[in-house]
């Protein structure tokens, strides 16, 4: 069976990763003098505490090529095909590290490294689709075709309560218009929504007052797409908002096709508390 590898920025719930046999290579997070592996020994609440009350901003770094080589070599003992899917290079050096590692094990196993053109749950949904195909017995070329079809049909949206975290994180390419809207949202204490497009671009921003209007905006964005196949929702510190949004989307996708989870520590570092993320494949 083809094995699927990804990185921890996909924010895939641990139980789903285990169920589908997805190997997750963690990014690293540094808080003060301590370094953690994303999802291991560090709770998201600690990250939010540091963002709001800490003396410095947590720093993140990509896995090393050695991290990927270790994972690929272990998997090569049980398969002759690996598909490794990652966040876009615009956010991190993770894709490059995985690509370099793949070249070191190509004599033992075919490794295909794929740029998801997304991050967070956008990446996560693509990885889940690939893992389900692998479980069904699809070969590596069939899985790559599924991924190539899914990438342009994947959309990622987010609601942030405080634009300052996007500015601090410096992971998104912000136009002058986006900066103006973001500063307006900060000055007025209102929420900003946008689509995360491609490699770290934001587009179609809107400003709303209150969570009810924010959730309605996200629902309307989802309703624009025909035949939605899968939806994923993740929250930072607002599980009640995630549950409300999931309930409102049930007529669109069906309860069994909606995944709700919490954002991982690396994603949380760049978006801050009060964030809600929604991804879909149509």
- List strand residue ranges (DSSP E) for 2-144, in order: 3-7, 22-25, 28-31, 34-37, 59-61, 81-86, 110-115
Is 0.85 topped by the overall pTM? yes
Kindly list the structural domains of the chain, giving each domain's residue range(s) and its CATH number in brackets, ordered by start: 3-152 (3.40.50.10170), 153-281 (3.30.1180.10)
pLDDT reported for residue 3: 98
Torsion of CA 46, 84, 64, 280, to 10 degrees: -30
Q: Tell me the C-alpha distance between 236 and 181, whole Å.
A: 22
Q: What is the pLDDT of residues 110-135, one digit of tens each?
A: 999 999 999 999 999 999 999 999 99
> How many C-beta atoms surround the C-beta of residue 80 within 10 A?
12
- List strand residue ranges (DSSP E) for 8-151, in order: 22-25, 28-31, 34-37, 59-61, 81-86, 110-115
Contact 42, 58 (CB under 8 A): no
pLDDT reported for residue 273: 86
Q: What is the pLDDT of residues 153-199, one digit of tens each?
A: 999 999 988 766 666 655 666 566 666 666 766 666 678 888 987 76
Tokens of 115: 């740029």
Q: Tell me the C-alpha distance between 269 and 27, whole Å.
A: 12
Contact 127, 251 (CB under 8 A): no
> How many C-beta atoms surround the C-beta of residue 203 within 10 A?
11
Q: Tell me the C-alpha distance between 170 and 108, whole Å.
A: 38
Q: Each residue's pLDDT tens digit in the chain (282 positions)? A: 999 999 999 999 999 999 999 999 999 999 888 899 988 878 888 887 887 776 667 889 999 999 999 999 999 999 999 999 999 998 899 999 999 999 999 899 999 999 999 999 999 999 999 999 999 999 999 999 999 999 999 999 999 887 666 666 556 665 666 666 667 666 666 788 889 877 667 778 888 888 899 999 999 999 999 899 999 999 999 999 999 999 999 999 999 999 999 999 998 888 888 899 999 999
Encode burial over 39-62: b for 16+ CB neighbours within 10 A, e otherwise: beebebebbbebbeeeeeebebeb
Contact 24, 4 (CB under 8 A): no
pLDDT reported for residue 211: 87
List all residues 6 or more positions away from 280 whose beta carbon is below 8 Å from its beta carbon: 125, 154, 155, 222, 225, 228, 229, 230, 231, 232, 253
pLDDT reported for residue 182: 61
């Amino acid at each position: 069976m083809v094995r699927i590898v990804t990185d921890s920025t996909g924010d895939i719930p641990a139980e789903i990763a285990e169920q589908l046999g997805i190997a997750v290579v963690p990014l690293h997070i540094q808080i003060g003098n301590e370094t953690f592996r994303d999802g291991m020994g560090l709770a998201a609440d600690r990250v939010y505490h540091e963002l709001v009350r800490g003396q410095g901003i947590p720093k993140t770094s990509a896995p090393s090529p050695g991290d990927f080589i270790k994972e690929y070599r272990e998997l090569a003992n049980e398969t002759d095909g690996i598909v490794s899917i990652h966040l876009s290079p615009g956010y991190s050096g993770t894709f490059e590290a995985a690509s370099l590692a793949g070249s070191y094990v190509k004599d033992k196993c075919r490794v295909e490294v794929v740029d998801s053109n997304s991050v967070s749950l956008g990446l996560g949904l693509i990885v889940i689709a690939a893992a389900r195909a692998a479980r069904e017995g699809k070969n590596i070329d069939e899985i790559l075709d599924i991924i190539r079809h899914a990438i342009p049909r994947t959309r990622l949206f987010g609601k942030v309560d405080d634009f300052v975290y996007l500015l601090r994180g410096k992971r998104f390419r912000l136009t002058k218009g986006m900066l103006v809207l973001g500063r307006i949202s900060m000055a007025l204490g209102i929420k900003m929504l946008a689509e995360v497009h491609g490699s770290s671009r934001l587009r179609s921003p809107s400003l709303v007052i209150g969570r009810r209007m924010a959730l309605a905006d996200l629902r309307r964005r989802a309703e624009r797409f025909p035949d939605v196949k899968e939806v994923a929702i993740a929250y930072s510190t607002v599980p009640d908002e995630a549950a409300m949004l999931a309930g409102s989307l049930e007529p669109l996708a069906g309860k069994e096709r909606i995944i709700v989870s919490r954002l991982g520590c690396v994603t949380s570092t760049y978006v801050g508390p009060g964030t809600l993320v929604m991804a879909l494949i149509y």
